[in-house]
Structure 1
């Protein structure tokens, strides 16, 4: 997008075209105005429109321009935080509520893709969290124990079973989660947008918000070309927030993450990598993940930004990494590369913020945006529809809080990823 081949890479090349949209012009009114056309905003718009509410979505650039169009496409259950730690942080009421909601969130994603016929390569065949060394396997044993106590049918696999089912060499085991799966993330965002418009929502792209104010019992949201008056306001701009919503971005520390994709692999090679579908990622701090797309391209990603010195360092590392992980590939070609940013909160948990009367939003997905963003958008719709109140939401309302040393941490993450990917770094 915006003539930048490193912004959305393979996803932009392989996604169906977006539904036709235009910039906002003139003054319009609606029941709800949504700022941001990512998973959360589009899901909220879809569910509100389906319930008969008038909805206008304002997007600064294009549908899925932010993290929704750049991520790995892993539709995971739960969060990075282990269930016991989540309950310890949020307390038993919100903790158990959030665990239950996000444990079933992938099912909601795949139900929507089927209901609306979204062409987004939906693959509901699980994911593999792969252990690196004894410490990684110990971590996965604890995850398996905690999820099993909650009734999740997650399975701890041996090293040999992991290699057989993923095709990847060198892992000491893995945790298989059948609740999870993969999608083409930009195609899913565009599919949500098409579904929302089918139900009656209006989406305006190229419509950055310049101001929003509460006037009486109405929100007035302005763009360069027009304005929207609405009783409710949803802010769903998350890590790519700028301008009037920049405080949302500033409460998150950005972690850069990049992907590459190979040319389509031969049929025989495809059968040796994730032959039963799904995706994998490892337990390293500077983690990496892998999956195939519908055309048999191997997609591999890791922490880092493809710019400056990082471009050379990460390109060299990814080739070494792929050869080590999948020696059966032999010589291979890389077709595309792209990168973006993950918004991280200090405790790795999302946030629910109130921005004034009838103004609400979730943000801070910490690399788990697809399934949580989808169900959080639905929950925002339920709140506006009066089906639940604020106390019934999956997270308590919190104040926007700026993390200490944010800029320093972001520079550290970008430089640290380069150091970790140098040839002299430990394997």
Structure 2
């Protein structure tokens, strides 16, 4: 179970099967480091690892334990690229940073693979490819353009016919799709725990159960206050994503936390496994309210989708996931679903991650829009580069101005309305 979480979204297969976490005692007393990192997920841990390897003193402050947030709860799919396609990314960020953003996002899955190999992280990693199944003709047009744009840049993507998709997925429910050979999958909480161990080994300091309360300017640096201590640092990295609180109010108002939920079985029999995703791919489809599904390394089947803010809504959405799974794979009818859990994904108004500087000496990276395993890791390295002294103009991803979302206090009813509208459009095609 996920500790200190709502019982209705705490029964996580990742928590149940995770390796023991490293010792990360709470912060006590006053300290000083070169860089203080708020948030112990993929972004903060990757930043800490690279800073420590460069000989820069780094301290992570995590309100719970490493990987407690979305980093330890997600579907474990390592999907390359951003939500928007390469041509749109280059138009959005311009001729200098557009190609850099395409390159770093397209290479993010391979970057994860390199980190796992270099630090020997045991997290059920495989890189057999990511499949995006297509649910209607309009989406097929979009996917066709996506494949063409990435192929033009030398990426290993290809279209799938209806028969191809049926053979790869084990269901004929989709019209076709695409496959991106760069994609992979892992046990996300064990990946976070592995990053934490690697960062500690490199010399970083990690404090769990240590919530940052405030950030104050002090001389040439900043003072981060916690319940039982302080940290003074020349630079501050905010890596809290969908769990950002009032320690960084401008950052918090720039994203909308949307709950995503998942269900999982116990390990299935060989007969069942051979009939579903027989080649070991992971999948997330083309619906506006997408479904994402795969097997874990031990043969458990996982299905994920959009959640809800209320207990009643969560119960309904968990039931809906089970129902849609049995529609795609009737052979799973009657199979017990042992696990059900959820967490917040941070969405941005423009669908792009935001690397931003709320004020001098502070940098944040948030808003992965469902691509967090790969992009959070990649931007953790970019944050480390900035904290090491690399100028903004030389970073691999653009720094943009924070733009608080208007009427942010109305985010929950707005998201609920958007989900209802998206669900209707999915049904209507």
Into which bin does the TM-score normalised by the smaller protein fall?
A: over 0.9
Alpha-carbon separation, structure 1, partners of 2:423 and 2:138: 20
**Match of 1:243, SS?**
coil
Pair 1:309-2:309 in alignment: no
**Match of 2:275, SS?**
coil
Pair 1:380-2:383 in alignment: yes
**Match of 1:125, SS?**
coil
Equivalent position of 2:115 in the other structure:
112
Aligned mate of 1:268, from 267, 271, 293? 271
**Match of 2:47, SS?**
helix
Pair 1:160-2:185 in alignment: no
Judged with a 3 Å threshold, the aligned counterparts in structure 2 of structure 1 residues 425 and 79 are, in CA distance, closer, same or farther, namely closer
Pair 1:171-2:174 in alignment: yes
Superposed CA deviations along residues 306-333 of structure 1, whole A, max 9, x for unmatched, are: 7432133213322221111112334211
Pair 1:404-2:406 in alignment: yes
Aligned mate of 2:86, from 83, 91, 94? 83
Pair 1:363-2:366 in alignment: yes
Q: Which moved more, 1:115-124 or 1:301-310?
A: 301-310
Judged with a 3 Å threshold, the aligned counterparts in structure 2 of structure 1 residues 220 and 306 are, in CA distance, closer, same or farther, namely closer
**Residue 260 of structure 1, CA deviation:** 0.6
Q: Within 5 A, what are the aligned runs for 1:26-425?
A: 26-305=29-308, 307-386=310-389, 388-414=390-416, 417=419
The root-mean-square deviation of aligned C-alpha atoms, in Å, is 2.0
**Match of 1:271, SS?**
helix
**Match of 1:298, SS?**
strand
Alpha-carbon separation, structure 2, partners of 1:244 and 1:108: 30
Alpha-carbon separation, structure 2, partners of 1:302 and 1:383: 35
The count of aligned residue pairs is: 425
The list of structure 1 runs, each at least 4 consecutive aligned residues, that deviate by more than 4 angstroms after superposition, is: 415-422, 424-427
**Residue 415 of structure 1, CA deviation:** 5.7
**Residue 8 of structure 1, CA deviation:** 6.1
TM-score (norm: length of structure 2)? 0.94
**Match of 2:248, SS?**
helix
Gaps of 5+ in 2: none
Gaps of 5+ in 1: none
**Residue 4 of structure 1, CA deviation:** 4.1
Q: Which moved more, 1:391-400 or 1:18-27?
A: 391-400
Equivalent position of 2:22 in the other structure:
19
**Match of 2:22, SS?**
coil
Superposed CA deviations along residues 247-280 of structure 1, whole A, max 9, x for unmatched, are: 3222112222111112221011112222222210
Judged with a 3 Å threshold, the aligned counterparts in structure 2 of structure 1 residues 186 and 414 are, in CA distance, closer, same or farther, namely farther
Superposed CA deviations along residues 339-397 of structure 1, whole A, max 9, x for unmatched, are: 122211111011111133322121111111111111111122222323x3111123333
Paired residues of 2:318 and 2:340 also in contact (CA < 8 A): no
**Residue 399 of structure 1, CA deviation:** 2.7
Alpha-carbon separation, structure 1, partners of 2:304 and 2:428: 18
**Residue 234 of structure 1, CA deviation:** 0.9
Alpha-carbon separation, structure 2, partners of 1:105 and 1:194: 21
Alpha-carbon separation, structure 2, partners of 1:307 and 1:120: 32
Alpha-carbon separation, structure 1, partners of 2:382 and 2:318: 40
Superposed CA deviations along residues 78-99 of structure 1, whole A, max 9, x for unmatched, are: 1111111111111121111000
**Residue 246 of structure 1, CA deviation:** 3.2
TM-score (norm: length of structure 1)? 0.94
**Match of 2:368, SS?**
coil
**Residue 30 of structure 1, CA deviation:** 1.1
Equivalent position of 1:2 in the other structure:
4
**Residue 19 of structure 1, CA deviation:** 0.6
Paired residues of 1:169 and 1:324 also in contact (CA < 8 A): no
**Residue 215 of structure 1, CA deviation:** 1.5
Paired residues of 2:11 and 2:339 also in contact (CA < 8 A): no
**Match of 1:263, SS?**
strand
